[in-house]
Structure 1
Amino acid sequence: MAEVEEVLSHPLNNTDEAIKGTVKLVATPVGTALAYGSLVFMALLPIFYGALRSVRCAKSKNSSDMPETITSRDAARFPLIASCTLFGLYLFFKIFSQEYINLLLSMYFFLLGILALSHTLSPAMNRFFPVNFPNKQYQLLFTQDTGETKEEIVNYEFDTKDMVCLAFSSVVGVWYLLKKHWIANNLFGLAFALNGVELLHLNNVSTGCILLGGLFIYDVFWVFGTNVMVTVAKSFEAPIKLVFPQDLLEHGLEANNFAMLGLGDIVIPGIFIALLLRFDISLKKNTHTYFYTSFFAYIFGLALTIFVMHTFKHAQPALLYLVPACIGFPLLIALVKGEIAEMFRYEESPKEVSGDSNQEKKESEKKEN
């Protein structure tokens, strides 16, 4: 899981004065509005589609698509782990050459980004293939031991269409590796965010509140209490943030005066919003009240972040505004509707789903034998 270490930063030049927010904006009002609007739009895409795909993911019996469930214990520890990681990166950038560190990170995210983008594109690409396309099935299976002690290490199923997506993603990966272009960065960033919302599942609302509450404190401390997060955000050359140039109208695709939004400010609220969508479905009322409430609350929180940042000319911890909005609005609606207790009782049990899947698999193997 990508660390939550980026913030919606002040769109200034990469100087010490810019990091402190003490120099004047160089972008035009139209360019600034375009950049902010594009960031908001790009942030909403992985949350909306990732939440929809998380519903299918929760019902999937394919081991390669099984979600990773975050428990309350994981949620409580995550801000501490994220803080140690963030400070460790800060020390690395202070002690060692940024060039070599970012080279290693580029190679790592090059491989990870190709897989993430391929997984993201695969369902959508099915619509573009003709019906008579020769789609062969493949399986990558690694096991250890034999007989009754045989255990699966990797079991990944894919087909010819997935390989086409992988080839396209590899082209984007080479483009990113060679040019570090902001469009390639955003393609990978959107893929990471969508996969995060789809595959990372909170087991209940209480866990979501613990996670968001802890990262609320984490974000505020590392942005307002120190210069660590903003320094790392400026130094870290990896597709863990969405960027959009404010000088696009003046310099075209070669523009370089970026506003940026970290993937953590998308994925963390996004997995909570996805949980509320699955809760809506569990109510069987054919309404998505809590999903849409939290989704529009996210828009409100992000717009408020941009407004405050633009007004005070200083980088803002987006979770400072997103967490109260994404938690507060749905809880208020649940309180009004008298469903607050039902909301907190709702709990997903992935172990049971996994167990059912394994049981069916064993029964199938017995029939074959």
Structure 2
Amino acid sequence: MEPLWKLTYLLEPASLTLIVTAVLVTFASAARALAHGKEMERNRDFSEASITLDHSQALMIPLASSCSLLLMFYLFSSVSHLVTAFTAIASASALFFCLSPYVAYVKSQFGLMDPFVSRCCSKSFTRSQGFLLLLCTGIVCAWLVSGHWLLNNLLGICICIAFVSHVRLPNIKICSLLLICLFVYDVFWVFFSERFFGENVMVSVATQQASNPVHTVANSLRLPGLQLITKKLELPVKLVFPRNLMGGVFASGNPTDYMMLGLGDMAIPGMLLALVFSFDHRKSRDITTPVDAPSSKGHKYVWYALSGYAIGLVTALAAGILTHSPQPALLYLVLPYACIGCLLQIFSM
């Protein structure tokens, strides 16, 4: 056990940035999920309807995640190019989804004309959407070439927001079931997988880098500027912050010099926070009459949930510092979130 003074590492810029970023991303994911749901209802457009989990799907998520983890553990080197290509497409789509509301806001504020260009998959495609698609593709290509951790984090944040916006929890019972199953999943693969597989599977998969297909193609074609293309990539399935944060902005560094947080440790709490957001929204709407001003008590439980997430995240990082070993974040997040679930269950009656 490390001395308690080691907890001062939590005040380092990298640690503080990781904590603040994770809390903001979780909040932004939940807020975007609520806005996306209201937009779909208002426009009666269910082509991008959210997936609402039921009991069987909640149980299947940890099982499917375990199978994926084992496949990545044993076969990652063989399929890394395919995984990178799929991740690049998913990242571009998520970035497009996250930036679309801002483009729509700018158009409405300045009254800009946005003519239709074509129709794709029974949906109209406008000029601004075409420019936005090019921008998103350019950002993903810049990540493929440079592999910079800032671009990795940007794409990871967008994937997290898009996931929370499209995959929803219908009630607190299924939420509790999912949290408990993922709690067991996280604890097993971090603490006990080494006994069965000879290596810590979760840590191994989280720290391995993917082969860059762009570098492979450039190398096979003997293109100029090959030295500028990174050979290995950190996939945007986690947030990474260099411990030397200021110097790390301009350099890639060694992967062991990074602090990491998996997207699941933001996406799963974000799904619960989205459920709390929806609960607060319905409660505020129900108690507000046409002649009343919006209630000042709206969104009360969101702040409790967000505070619980922040406390659990700080506890997880502190445990990692004191034990000098990776920690399953859900081990420390489930307890404060369970308290929020009890409050919701009581006050929704």
Residue 30 of structure 1 deviates from its aligned partner by 7.3
**Is 1:195 equivalent to 2:174 in the alignment?**
no
Q: Distance in 1 between matches of 2:336 and 2:244?
A: 31
Partner of 1:367: none
Q: Distance in 2 between matches of 1:41 and 1:179?
A: 25
Residue 188 of structure 1 deviates from its aligned partner by 0.6
Residue 289 of structure 1 deviates from its aligned partner by 2.1
User: What is the TM-score of this pair, normalised by structure 2?
Assistant: 0.78
Partner of 2:29: 50
Residue 125 of structure 1 deviates from its aligned partner by 2.9
**Is 1:87 equivalent to 2:84 in the alignment?**
no
**Map 1:189-338 → 2, pairs under 5 A:** 189-226=156-193, 227-237=200-210, 238-256=235-253, 257-284=257-284, 285=287, 286=295, 287-331=298-342, 333-334=343-344, 338=346
1:76 alignment partner, one of 50, 53, 59: 59
- For 2:278, give the aligned amino acid: R
Q: 1:43-69 CA deviation, whole Å, 9 max, x = no partner? A: 223321221222232231223432111
Q: Give the gaps of 5 or more residues in structure 2.
A: 3-7, 194-199, 211-234, 288-294
Q: Distance in 2 between matches of 1:248 and 1:302?
A: 20
Secondary structure of the equivalent of 2:250? helix
Which stretch of the first structure deviates more once superposed, 212-221 or 41-50? 41-50
**Map 1:91-170 → 2, pairs under 5 A:** 91-93=74-76, 98=77, 101-129=79-107, 131-137=110-116, 140-142=119-121, 155-170=122-137
TM-aligned CA distance change 1:76 to 1:251, over 3 Å: closer
- For 1:231, give the aligned amino acid: S
Q: Distance in 1 between matches of 2:316 and 2:69?
A: 22
Q: 1:174-206 CA deviation, whole Å, 9 max, x = no partner? A: 111112111111111010011112121111111
- Contact residue 57 and residue 67 of structure 1 kept, 8 A: no
- Contact residue 69 and residue 201 of structure 1 kept, 8 A: yes
Secondary structure of the equivalent of 1:133? coil
- For 1:75, give the aligned amino acid: A
Q: Distance in 1 between matches of 2:113 and 2:344?
A: 50
Aligned-pair RMSD on alpha carbons? 2.5
TM-aligned CA distance change 1:310 to 1:140, over 3 Å: farther
- Contact residue 186 and residue 239 of structure 1 kept, 8 A: yes
Q: Distance in 2 between matches of 1:45 and 1:231?
A: 27
Q: Give the gaps of 5 or more residues in structure 1.
A: 1-20, 23-28, 143-154, 343-369
- For 1:118, give the aligned amino acid: F
Q: Distance in 1 between matches of 2:128 and 2:237?
A: 27
Secondary structure of the equivalent of 1:63? coil
Residue 134 of structure 1 deviates from its aligned partner by 2.4
- For 2:245, give the aligned amino acid: L
- For 2:300, give the aligned amino acid: T
Secondary structure of the equivalent of 1:253? coil
Q: Distance in 2 between matches of 1:224 and 1:122?
A: 41
Q: Distance in 2 between matches of 1:288 and 1:251?
A: 37
User: What is the TM-score of this pair, normalised by structure 1?
Assistant: 0.74
